[in-house]
Chain A
Amino acid sequence: MSSPTSRRGSLILLLPIALIVALLALLFVWIGGWFGGRGVTPQAMADTAEASGSPQPGFRRAHSKGICIVGSFAPTPAAAKLSTARVFTQPSIPVLGRFSNPGNDPHAPDNKAAVRGMGLQLKTDDGQEWRLAMNSFPFFASATPEGFQALNMARLPDPATGKPDPEKMKAVLARHPEIARFLAWSKSAPTPDSLANTRFNGVNAFRLIDAQGRERAVRWSMRPHAPFAAADPEHLKHAGRDFLAEDLGRRLAAGPLQWDMVMQFAAPGDVVEDPSRPWPDTRPETTVGTLTLERAEAQVGGPCFDLNFDPLILPKGIAATGDPVLHARSAVYSVSFNRREREISQGLARSGSAQ
């Protein structure tokens, strides 16, 4: 064995070589998720969103209907004490964003949209970037991505009946009891009659890091200056398909629309990593800035369409928490973005006639 001469080894030695190579290959494809299911993947969650309706190549897998918005963000002096992010010291930051409706139909009527989304991109003069993905619900449906996936699976129509199976939903609620709280909220909460008077919530907790390196767990929200007005259910029934966009256009023609960005601080003992459990309204809050929207435009051909509002694109001075839903959102948005940009690249997107 120790001879360095050119005496050849037995061909039997091909066996351990093949074994080493095969084991490495197997390990790689296992890590890559080709076999051996290890729970919910971002691909599975995107598949479920796709299965909830007909294919919409080129569009987002969820929150597919949307409107691009353009404006600016101006921080308050109090903000700079909470975080070193440039977004809290630069006097005015250009904002590109997107309002969205839930579901995977980019042409769905607005009166079906009980919850709404607001995505924002803030680019500061130091080259840093902050992307936010907020929703009009005050807390998330589930504590975990697994619960959310189970909920969405249970909502899919059963192939036999064409309707969701109530037994499946019961099983999901038994395993993920926090979802019942969200379903109760969505049944009773009044829907605002406009995007302009809708409050948008970050839902997931983040950490603000100040100049001393001190970290504070926060949840942020955008609180509209326009007073809340609930949509009249009777009126909603006859509202036009795109009444939200039309209303937004009318209001923006009359003047800019504003929201205050408010940070809510966790108290010691508050659960930071569970987005289904909001903190009490009595927690201290600080207004860190004002968002001003100046104009809106159709998403197709608009600047917000091919942007992934990934909530983990954060500037220095703002960091993620371990909230598993936050990390899952980033992962699933990425899958959705990859799929739709590929469809666009392959010329499959039917976006020409879309709104």
Chain B
Amino acid sequence: MNRPRHFNLLARALHWSMAVAILAMLFVGAAMVVTLRYREPLLDLHRPLGLAILLLALVRLANRLRHPPPPLPADLPRIQVWAATASHWLLYALMLAMPLIGWAMLSAGAYPVELFSGVNLPPILPHSPVMYGFLRPLHGVLAYVLFFTILAHLGAALFHAWVRRDEVFGQMARGEPRPARSNDVRDDLAPPL
């Protein structure tokens, strides 16, 4: 099988932009449920950002299925291969599920799903206290699962970059190297978020 040495440009652009969006989303979500004063502006940011993440995640999933990712290092211990594969699919599942659960939960709670002032999304579930009472806590619990999975992913990426010093981090940080360029500047990159 002819696999690329790096993630393609779309995959890299989506990875880094969604990293920023999802982290911002998680911090907004964590803050908005405990603030007395800023719930409204944070919620107004949370809903459209959530929809944007859902749409980007769909594009990203399609790209991932059509373009195989670069292989992991051949000498990577089996447990780490398993952890990498499992955490990647968990991240995909959560970035698709979280916006959908948020949307479904607002629908079940009979809340208008406001995207922007004057523009609402249609409900995707009927008004149901039982569903709301289940989905609302689920949204919060899965947000923490997502956050700690991202931290594990970040820790692993830095482990590849700084300790193993293999090609894994570079596969997502850079495109295919151009033969004309002689100076390698990869170590000047700031640590990723």
Chain A residues near B31 (CB-CB < 8 A): 31-32
Are the CB atoms of B154 and A20 closer together than 8 Å? yes
Are the CB atoms of A342 and B164 closer together than 8 Å? no
B26 on the A face (CB < 8 A): yes
Nearest opposing residue in chain A for B27, CB measure: A31
Tell me the A1-58 residues at the B interface (CB within 8 Å): 1-11, 13-14, 16-18, 20-21, 24-25, 28-29, 31-33, 39-43, 45
Chain A residues near B112 (CB-CB < 8 A): 127-129, 313
Are the CB atoms of B163 and A8 closer together than 8 Å? yes
A298 to B3, CA, bound (A): 66
B91 on the A face (CB < 8 A): no
Chain B residues near A8 (CB-CB < 8 A): 163-165
Q: Separation in Å of the B142 CB from the closest CB of chain A?
A: 14
Are the CB atoms of A328 and B163 closer together than 8 Å? no
Chain A residues near B191 (CB-CB < 8 A): 20
Are the CB atoms of A11 and B117 closer together than 8 Å? no
Nearest opposing residue in chain A for B132, CB measure: A341
Contact among B36, B136, B187 for A328, CB-based, below 8 A: B36
Tell me the A324-345 residues at the B interface (CB within 8 Å): 324, 327-328, 330-332, 334, 337-338, 341-345
A155 on the B face (CB < 8 A): no
Chain B residues near A6 (CB-CB < 8 A): 165-166
Q: Interface residues of B toward A: which range?
A: 35 or more
Chain B residues near A21 (CB-CB < 8 A): 151, 154-155
Contact among A16, A315, A345 for B133, CB-based, below 8 A: A345
Interface string of B12-52 (1 = CB under 8 A from A): 00000000000000110011011111111000000000000
Are the CB atoms of A306 and B111 closer together than 8 Å? no
Chain A residues near B26 (CB-CB < 8 A): 28
Q: Separation in Å of the A11 CB from the closest CB of chain B?
A: 7
Nearest opposing residue in chain B for A40, CB measure: B36
Are the CB atoms of B136 and A24 closer together than 8 Å? no
Tell me the A290-331 residues at the B interface (CB within 8 Å): 306-308, 310, 312-313, 315-316, 320, 324, 327-328, 330-331
Q: Known contacts A306-B110, A337-B109, A345-B134: does B34 contact A14 (CB below 8 Å)?
A: no
Q: How many residues of chain A are within 8 Å of chain B by beta carbon?
A: 59
A313 to B43, CA, bound (A): 11
Are the CB atoms of A345 and B129 closer together than 8 Å? yes
Q: Known contacts A28-B30, A343-B133, A344-B129: does B154 contact A324 (CB below 8 Å)?
A: no
Are the CB atoms of A327 and B155 closer together than 8 Å? no
Q: Separation in Å of the B185 CB from the closest CB of chain A?
A: 9
Are the CB atoms of B133 and A24 closer together than 8 Å? no
A14 to B155, CA, bound (A): 9
Chain A residues near B27 (CB-CB < 8 A): 28, 31
A97 on the B face (CB < 8 A): no
Q: Known contacts A128-B118, A316-B117, A327-B39: does B184 contact A4 (CB below 8 Å)?
A: yes
6 further interface pairs, Cβ-Cβ under 8 Å (given A25-B147, A328-B37):
A9-B162, A10-B163, A20-B158, A42-B34, A345-B130, A346-B133
Give 18 A-B contacts (CB < 8 Å), ordered by A residue.
A5-B165, A6-B166, A7-B165, A10-B163, A17-B163, A25-B148, A31-B31, A41-B35, A128-B120, A129-B112, A129-B120, A310-B111, A312-B40, A316-B117, A332-B36, A341-B109, A342-B136, A345-B129
Interface of B toward A, CB cutoff 8 Å: 26-27, 30-31, 33-40, 109-112, 117-118, 120, 127, 129-134, 136-137, 147-148, 151, 154-155, 158-159, 162-166, 170, 184, 186-187, 191
Interface of A toward B, CB cutoff 8 Å: 1-11, 13-14, 16-18, 20-21, 24-25, 28-29, 31-33, 39-43, 45, 127-129, 145, 306-308, 310, 312-313, 315-316, 320, 324, 327-328, 330-332, 334, 337-338, 341-346
